[in-house]
Structure 1
Amino acid sequence: MKRPYYLFSSGRLKRQHNTLALEKTTGERIPDDAPGDEGLPSAAPDGPRTPFPVESVDSLFLFGEVDINSKLITFLGQQGIPAFFYDYYGNFTATIYPRESQLSGRLRVQQAQHYLSPKKRLVLARAFVEAALFNIERVIKYYQPRLSGEAQATVLATLAALVRDRSALPHTTDILTLMAVEGRIRDRYYQLWPHFLGPEVASRFPFDKRERRPPSNELNALISFGNSLCYNSVLRQIYRTALDPTVAFLHEPGDRRFSLSLDIAEIFKPLLVDRAIFRLLKTGEIGPKHFEKHLGGCYLSEAGRKIFVQHWDERLSQTVQHRTLDRKVSYERLIRLECYKLIRHLSDPAGETYQGLHMWW
């Protein structure tokens, strides 16, 4: 069974006959923005060689300083393996995206037609926002009974505002209004996080608002890192279908970005990213020692990223009983099923209108 590989070691990734191998370095990695850095490898690949069978590789997440060449890129393309690169501080930087293998000119035309039609686009954009808000509501309702006093009153007020805004979504008439509603609810939702984490954890990780570039504190660093993993996990599943990842409906399609993964990720961030953060902080698996400050920003250290990625991989493999399929499916499979639902809507919008995933557990 194929699975994603997360490589934290530095070295040279190469094709070895008809499989893959990482020749590791033993020297210390130099930060990408270190003074005097000329873009050369921090150290030669003088360590052990670690082979792994290409048949088991679904995708590669490269967190170390890894050298590659055109032969390897060609081999990854032949095998349909996307590779995602992260810099020294854990920021997502680039993707090697293989040539599409699941091509459908008909679906691509239908996807473009839905984007170009304001009415059709708005239907899908509403569905993404509605599902995202529903799943945020589920997270809030999970923690609300565990609170009391002023904390519970604050949560109930936010919950009422969320329900009101979600009920009003059918009346929105443009994408900008939808984005504004979603952004407003997320801001209020983030303000509840100290209550969800509890006084002890919140005292060690103060948090009052979302700040991205750069992340200003530990919780912002966790959100940014988790969201990047979520975007790329969605992109992996889009690649296994005939959808065009550059044509989106909620987020504006632009140059050099896979906007559709941003659309679908909105649905899954409350389930995958937010719950992972709460779990890791409340259990103490990630603590203040797992962060480092740099140029006015806060980032997960390599040790922290390893902990988060391990938990992330385990979370994607968790299963839930699917109410329609009547069998257990993994969280990762739920993302693929979301892509299939979108394809059915694009192919026959009158027959099966798209509705984003609503958490039922």
Structure 2
Amino acid sequence: MKRPYYLFSSGRLKRQHNTLALERMTGDRQPDDSPGDEALPSAEADGPRAPFPVESVDSLFLFGEIDINSKLITFLGRQGIPAFFYDYYGNYTATLYPRDNQLSGHLRVRQAQFYLNVKRRLVLAKAIVEAALFNIERVIKYYQPRLEGETRTTVQTTLLALTRDREALPEAVDIPTLMAVEGRIRDRYYRLWPCFLGENTSALFPFTKRERRPPSNELNALISFGNSLCYSTVLRQIYRTALDPTIAFLHEPGERRFSLSLDIAEVFKPLLVDRAIFRL
């Protein structure tokens, strides 16, 4: 059974016979944006070696400072294993992906046609928002029976408001209006987080609103980190198809980003990321 591997240690990743091994770096990792950095390893990879079978690897998520060479890249390509890279601060930076074997010019043209057709794009974008709202309501209803008193009343009031938001989705006539409804849904949802976290946890990790670039506190940082993992996991699944990850329907396609991954991740973030955060 193949699964993703998350490597947080630094060192050299190498081919060991017909499998993989990480030779750990014993020194401290230096920030990627250090003044005078020459893109050399922060320290020697002279620590213990951790082998793992390549047959069990679906994908690699590299959070440490990992040194690789072309032989390893060729080996990963033959095995069909993509590698996702994150910088010193945990931001997703790049993907090393095997040569495309799921190519379809016809599908890519059709995908672009759906984006350019306002009505068809709006249908797909509404479906994405509706699915995301469905999973947000699933999370809320999971925690609702565990709440008492004022917090439970607050949750019930929010669920009624989300019902009204759901009813407003068919009325959205364009993408900006739909994005405004989606933003309102997320805002209502995030305001409930202190209820789910409980009084003691909320005191230790206060959360009043979602803030990005940069996150303003620990909880916002955890959300950003979890969302980044979700984006790259969705991107891995998009790569299994012939879809173009840069052509999206809810988010506007932009420069240097996989907008379709942002679209699809909206559906799964409440279940994969938020539930994990509450459990932590």
Q: TM-score range by the shorter chain?
A: over 0.9
Matched letter for residue 176 of structure 1: P
The SS at the match of 2:71 is: helix
Matched letter for residue 7 of structure 2: L
> For residues 81 and 258 of structure 2, what CA distance do their matches in structure 1 show?
17
Cα deviation digits, residues 246-276 of structure 1 (max 9, x gap): 2111111122221111111100011111111
For 2:121, the equivalent position in structure 1 comes to 121
> For residues 53 and 32 of structure 2, what CA distance do their matches in structure 1 show?
30
- Does residue 1:244 correspond to 2:244, yes or no? yes
- Does residue 1:222 correspond to 2:222, yes or no? yes
> For residues 273 and 13 of structure 2, what CA distance do their matches in structure 1 show?
29
**Paired residues for 1:22-61 under 5 Å:** 22-61=22-61
Matched letter for residue 243 of structure 2: L
- Does residue 1:5 correspond to 2:5, yes or no? yes
> For residues 147 and 54 of structure 1, what CA distance do their matches in structure 2 show?
45
Matched letter for residue 61 of structure 2: F
> For residues 97 and 157 of structure 1, what CA distance do their matches in structure 2 show?
46
**Paired residues for 1:188-337 under 5 Å:** 188-280=188-280
> For residues 106 and 70 of structure 1, what CA distance do their matches in structure 2 show?
33
* Contact 1:6–1:62 (Cα < 8 Å) also in 2: yes
- Does residue 1:187 correspond to 2:187, yes or no? yes
Structure 1, unmatched stretches of 5+, are 281-361
The SS at the match of 2:81 is: coil
For 1:67, the equivalent position in structure 2 comes to 67
* Contact 1:80–1:101 (Cα < 8 Å) also in 2: no
For 1:83, the equivalent position in structure 2 comes to 83
Shift of residue 35, structure 1, vs aligned partner: 5.0
The SS at the match of 2:74 is: helix
> For residues 149 and 46 of structure 2, what CA distance do their matches in structure 1 show?
60
> For residues 54 and 101 of structure 1, what CA distance do their matches in structure 2 show?
20
TM-score, length-scaled by structure 1: 0.74
Shift of residue 96, structure 1, vs aligned partner: 1.5
> For residues 70 and 271 of structure 2, what CA distance do their matches in structure 1 show?
38
Shift of residue 17, structure 1, vs aligned partner: 4.0
> For residues 70 and 56 of structure 1, what CA distance do their matches in structure 2 show?
22
TM-score, length-scaled by structure 2: 0.94
Report the RMSD for the aligned CA atoms in angstroms.
Answer: 1.7
Cα deviation digits, residues 183-227 of structure 1 (max 9, x gap): 111112111100111111111110000011111111101101110
Deviating above 4 A after TM superposition, structure 1's stretches of 4 or more consecutive aligned residues are: none
For 1:20, the equivalent position in structure 2 comes to 20
Shift of residue 34, structure 1, vs aligned partner: 4.1
For 2:178, the equivalent position in structure 1 comes to 178
Matched letter for residue 98 of structure 1: P
For 1:92, the equivalent position in structure 2 comes to 92
The SS at the match of 1:5 is: strand
Matched length = 280
Structure 2, unmatched stretches of 5+, are none
Shift of residue 36, structure 1, vs aligned partner: 4.7
Cα deviation digits, residues 264-313 of structure 1 (max 9, x gap): 11000111111111111xxxxxxxxxxxxxxxxxxxxxxxxxxxxxxxxx
Cα deviation digits, residues 135-154 of structure 1 (max 9, x gap): 11121122223323332232
- Does residue 1:101 correspond to 2:101, yes or no? yes
For 2:151, the equivalent position in structure 1 comes to 151
> For residues 257 and 183 of structure 1, what CA distance do their matches in structure 2 show?
20
Shift of residue 233, structure 1, vs aligned partner: 1.0
Shift of residue 155, structure 1, vs aligned partner: 1.9
Cα deviation digits, residues 7-43 of structure 1 (max 9, x gap): 1221111233443222221112223344554432110
